[in-house]
Amino acid sequence: MTQRPPETSSSAGVSRRRFLQGSGTALAAGVTTSEASSSAGPAAAPRLSGEVEVTFQLNGEARTALVEPRTTLLSLLRHHLSPPLTGTKEVCDRGNCGACTVQIDGAPAYSCLTLAVDLAGRSVRTIEGVGSPESLHPVQRAFCEQDAAMCGFCTPGFVVATVAALEQEPQASLERVKERLSGNLCRCGTYPHIFAAVQEVTGQRTDEVFREEGR
Ligand code: FES
Ligand code: FES
């Protein structure tokens, strides 16, 4: 049923297990650095910051950032860039809700479970790279027309996941769309409107969506 965790694992190269292993490696690396600097004496140049340089594509532009090995892509986007990219939302921060969904090399991925150091040479697309206020992406326009947001916190993640799904399957069936979006949660319950927006983009009848949902 839930597709995002496996997709996240294969596309972004990160799974929960690997994330934890990465954190453990970072911790171990910190200990090793500390021990090495103390044994090498004051002449050595210890690496105290532990930051790593990573170069990747962000919304079509080459970006280089200094990040600690523990820094997630979500944290990088929201707290370490200047200016920050806050369109990607932090809700659960543990891979449960999909609010932080971005595209990595075209596939949807949870940015809260993606380590920034794993982005080297990869391409990241956030909601800021999907249309603009002056020129909305068709999916964004359909979400507006179908009133597919209440609080709106889940919306950027849903839009990015929908764009990724329809880029890969432009004429996906409703069942297929639901499967592709099953890694995203909306606590306000706007699912019928979200699916109607998707159906609007794919050119299918939106009233079928509401009939199926009993509305
Ligand atoms: S904030 Fe990443 S899955 Fe919820
Ligand atoms: S619109 Fe509020 S969580 Fe989806």
**Per-residue pLDDT tens digits for 69-111:** 999 999 999 999 999 999 999 999 999 999 999 999 999 999 9
CA distance linking residue 142 with residue 180, whole number of Å: 18
CB under 6 Å to ligand 1: residues?
Answer: 90-93, 95-100, 110, 112
Q: What is the model's pLDDT at position 186?
A: 98
Cα 109 to ligand 1 centroid, rounded to whole Å: 10
Cα 84 to ligand 1 centroid, rounded to whole Å: 18
CA distance linking residue 76 with residue 22, whole number of Å: 16
Nearest ligand for residue 8 CA: 1
Atom nearest to 151 CA in ligand 2? 2
Cα 136 to ligand 1 centroid, rounded to whole Å: 24
Would you state the structure tokens that stand for residue 62, as one six-digit string? 């080459």
In words, the CATH class of domain 4-38+50-129 is alpha beta
176: number of Cβ within 10 Å = 12
In words, the CATH class of domain 138-212 is mainly alpha
Fold match between 4-38+50-129 and 138-212?
A: no
Domain ranges of the chain: 4-38+50-129, 138-212
Tell me the best of 96, 147, 151, 184 to mutate to test the pocket of ligand 2, counting ligand atoms within 8 Å of each CB and taking the most.
151
Cα 149 to ligand 2 centroid, rounded to whole Å: 6
Mean pLDDT score, 28-34? 35
Is the predicted pLDDT of residue 8 greater than 50, yes or no?
no
pLDDT tens per residue, range 119-146? 999 999 999 999 999 999 999 999 999 9
pLDDT tens per residue, range 159-213? 999 999 999 988 788 889 899 999 999 999 999 999 999 999 988 655 555 555 5
Give the residue among 67, 69, 65 at the shortest CA–CA distance from 28. Answer: 69
Encoded amino acid at 151, one letter: C
Least confident of 21-25, 48-52, 64-68, 106-110: 21-25
Cα 52 to ligand 1 centroid, rounded to whole Å: 24
Tell me the best of 160, 190, 193 to mutate to test the pocket of ligand 2, counting ligand atoms within 8 Å of each CB and taking the most.
190
HEC readout, the chain: CCCHHHHHHHHCCCCHHHHHHHHHHHHHHHHHHHHHHHHHCCCCCCCCCCCEEEEEEECCEEEEEEECCCCEHHHHHHHHCCCCCCCCCCCCCCCCCCCCEEEECCEEEEHHHCEHHHHCCCEEECHHHCCCCCCCCHHHHHHHHCCCCCCCCCHHHHHHHHHHHHHHCCCCCHHHHHHHCCCCCCCCCCHHHHHHHHHHHHCCCHHHHHHHCCC
CB under 6 Å to ligand 2: residues?
Answer: 149-155, 186-188, 190
Cα 5 to ligand 1 centroid, rounded to whole Å: 11
CA distance linking residue 150 with residue 74, whole number of Å: 23
